[in-house]
Amino acid sequence: MSGAGLGLSGPARSIPAMGGFTIRPGQDEDAADFIRLVGDAWAEYPNCFLDVDGEVPELRALATHFAGTGGALWAAEAEGRVVGMVAARPLGSDRAWEICKMYVEKSQRGTGLAHALLGGAEAHARARGAQRIVLWTDTRFEAAHRFYEKRGYVRSGSIRILDDISKSLEFRYAKPAIGLVVEALDAAAAASAERSLAEMLVACVADGAATGHLPPLPPEAARAFWRRVSGEAALGNRLLLVAWQEGQVAGTVQLNLAMPQDQAHRAVVEQLLVHPQFRRQGIGRALMQRVEQAARGIGRSLLTLDIRAGAAAEALCRGQGWVEAGRIPGFSRDAGGTLTEQLLLYRPL
């Protein structure tokens, strides 16, 4: 079990104290505490066994181990006790960095320590040119999955099988590290993005976006919506694109591919969303450009969409060559109950 489970230049630098804890560079002398953290976290799950000398001897001198890989290690202390750890290391020529040995003592979960540890490790990697950040986490560590997904990570690639005494299977998670990046998600990634996309949808609805939902949108309803979307993506009926801005999920758009037989050349652009915190940063434009590129790539020659007249997306679409086909008055109601007009647009590719 490689262990990114949940349970800043040169060498690692200390991170200022916050929330009752201090984060400092990890040392080989912390070995006993690191072994305790890992062992306690694994013991929370069935059939997870820690054999230090047989399988993870690097825990005996972890700072030296990560220094040898060009990486860094941090330890978190609270009241003089080591209560958390994380490491990061470069992976090679693809400019990716891996988050490793991410563990937080059970008593410190929910205090913000895990976010501080991971955020510091990510910043360290970005400062050294990381364009992508990856990690591996045991398939049994469901709390860890929720935490990483909240931080913008999505499932990526195949499940890894480890030949260890715990019979471990591991998910690979990844996300872009820097800049504005738009990616199409496969079925596994789409399912793992449900949490962060649901949070964004709730924020967009609260901000007045026309999404087919009225505020306040319950989080469970938002999750159910994205669960349906990821299911359609798994069936190949829908393409889901997500935008990251500096490693945070910032926007999304969908391409509905389930057209009638006589319209197989067409697709429908749906649910263009940009998180309110990331407006006016070119994210909507990047999403629309990428969805058009994706449509061309799969042989679609005509795109259609409908949006509320006067919405911010109208000016964006017109600026990118979309053509008005008509308007439907009284199509939907806004949060105040007022009937609104819907604008129908198309774009030949």
Q: Cα separation of 72 and 62, whole Å?
A: 9
Indicate if the pLDDT at residue 314 is higher than 80.
Answer: yes
Q: DSSP assignment, residue 217?
A: P
Q: Are 274 and 284 in contact (CB under 8 A)?
A: yes
Given a cut of 70, whether residue 19 has pLDDT beyond it is no
d(CA 167, CA 119): 30
The rounded distance, in Å, linking the Cα atoms of 204 and 198 is 10
Q: Is the pLDDT at 1 greater than 80, yes or no?
A: no
Does the pLDDT of residue 93 top 80, yes or no? no
CA distance 287 to 283: 6
For the chain, what is the largest distance between any 2 Cα atoms, rounded to a whole number of angstroms?
Answer: 72
Reported as a pLDDT band with limits 50, 70 and 90, residue 94 is confident
Residue 15 has pLDDT above 60, yes or no: no
CA distance 82 to 78: 7
pLDDT for residue 214 is more than 70? yes
Distances (CA, A) of 64 to 12, 53, 67, 236: 12, 16, 5, 47
Tokens of 161: 């099988």
**Ranges 1-5, 34-38, 81-85, 119-123: which has the least confidence:** 1-5
CA neighbor of 14 nearest in space, from 26, 5, 23 = 23
Strand partners, 24: 75
pLDDT in tens, 175-211: 999 999 999 999 999 999 999 999 999 999 999 999 9
Mean of all residue pLDDT scores within the chain: 94
Residue 16 has pLDDT above 60, yes or no: no
Q: How do residues 222-236 score in pLDDT, each as one tens digit?
A: 999 999 999 999 999
Q: Which residues pair with 138 in a beta bridge?
A: 170
CA dist., res. 102 & res. 88, Å (int): 9
The Cβ of residue 348 has, within 10 Å, a number of other Cβ atoms equal to 9
Q: Is the pLDDT of residue 8 over 60?
A: no
Crossing angle of helices 283-297/312-319, nearest 10°?
Answer: 50
Element spanning 234, H or E: helix 219-234
φ/ψ of residue 272, rounded to 5: -75, 115
Q: Does pLDDT of 7 surpass 50? A: no
